[in-house]
């Protein structure tokens, strides 16, 4: 699997987490293997951020972003184009949650395949097992970030959590994603031909601020065979 270069952006480059860091994370989660699309998302959402906070930002910020804005996609178009990748990311994050959780709980059967079957059944038309397997392969290198989002309660709360997180919760979100990455890289699903659920070359965004130490494992969602 091709390694994804993340050297073009460091989270916390303004000295502390900002909404721009959240937007950069969002772009990597939605377009892990498409650098052009990722840059388009970052440009459009960055312009929207600048417009909302124009009274608080220095003039040189707008001079730097002005050239990029000339060919930027409209925000509504980016949002519409992100619907399918969002669904694919949620699927990948759910698979990682289940694969790790089911294995840690000692559930029998190939936990990845079981999750694929459950998701195909629940998502319905357009999401065959083959389609979901392809989405898992596409988003696997960023599935730990999506797993952190799924872990925040997308399936058991009346409203979806902010995507991918708020500025205040960014450090906690990244620490949770790291926990899922580490679990995925050291856990082998039952009878799986793969030695580990996640590859070694998962995306890890450079971060200049310190992440908290989690007191315990994050909440892990997994399907029950009784469902």
Whether 225 is covered by a domain: the verdict is: no
Query: Which pLDDT does position 181 carry in this prediction?
Result: 97
> Which structure tokens are listed for 123?
């998502």
CA gap 145, 141 in Å, rounded: 9
Cα separation values, 219 from 89, 92, 216, Å = 18, 16, 9
**Domain range spanning residue 72?**
14-207
Query: Which pLDDT does position 227 carry in this prediction?
Result: 36
Whether 4 is covered by a domain: the verdict is: no
> Which structure tokens are listed for 169?
């919760």
Query: Which pLDDT does position 58 carry in this prediction?
Result: 55
SS (H, E, C) 38-86: HHHHHHHHHHHHHHHCCCCCCHHHHHHHHHHHCCCCCHHHHHHHCHHHH
CA gap 144, 150 in Å, rounded: 10
Averages of pLDDT over runs of 10 residues in the chain (227 residues) are 47 83 94 90 82 58 54 75 92 94 79 89 90 95 97 76 93 96 88 82 90 92 67
Number of domains the chain is built from: 1
pTM of the model: 0.85
Whether 7 is covered by a domain: the verdict is: no
Whether 88 is covered by a domain: the verdict is: yes
Whether 106 is covered by a domain: the verdict is: yes
Query: Which pLDDT does position 71 carry in this prediction?
Result: 62
Whether 23 is covered by a domain: the verdict is: yes
């Amino acid at each position: 699997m091709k390694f994804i270069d993340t050297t073009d952006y460091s989270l916390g480059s303004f000295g502390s987490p900002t909404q721009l860091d959240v937007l950069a994370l969002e772009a990597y989660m939605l377009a892990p293997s498409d650098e052009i699309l990722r840059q388009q998302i970052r440009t459009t959402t960055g312009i929207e951020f600048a417009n909302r906070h124009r009274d608080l930002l220095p003039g040189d910020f707008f001079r730097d972003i002005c050239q990029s804005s000339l060919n930027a996609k409209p925000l509504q178009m980016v949002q519409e184009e992100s619907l399918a990748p969002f669904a694919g990311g949620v699927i990948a994050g759910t698979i990682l949650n289940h694969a790790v959780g089911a294995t840690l709980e000692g559930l029998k059967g190939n936990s990845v395949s079981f999750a694929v079957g459950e998701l195909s059944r629940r998502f319905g038309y357009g999401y065959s097992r083959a389609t979901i397997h392809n989405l898992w392969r596409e988003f696997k290198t960023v599935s730990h970030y999506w797993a952190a989002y799924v872990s925040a309660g997308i399936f058991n709360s009346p409203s979806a959590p902010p995507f991918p997180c708020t500025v205040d919760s960014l450090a906690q979100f990244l620490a949770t994603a790291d926990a899922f990455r580490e679990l995925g890289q050291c856990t082998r699903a039952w009878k799986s031909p793969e030695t580990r659920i996640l590859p070694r070359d998962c995306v890890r965004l450079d971060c200049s601020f310190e992440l908290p130490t989690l007191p315990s494992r994050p909440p892990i969602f997994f399907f029950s065979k009784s469902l």
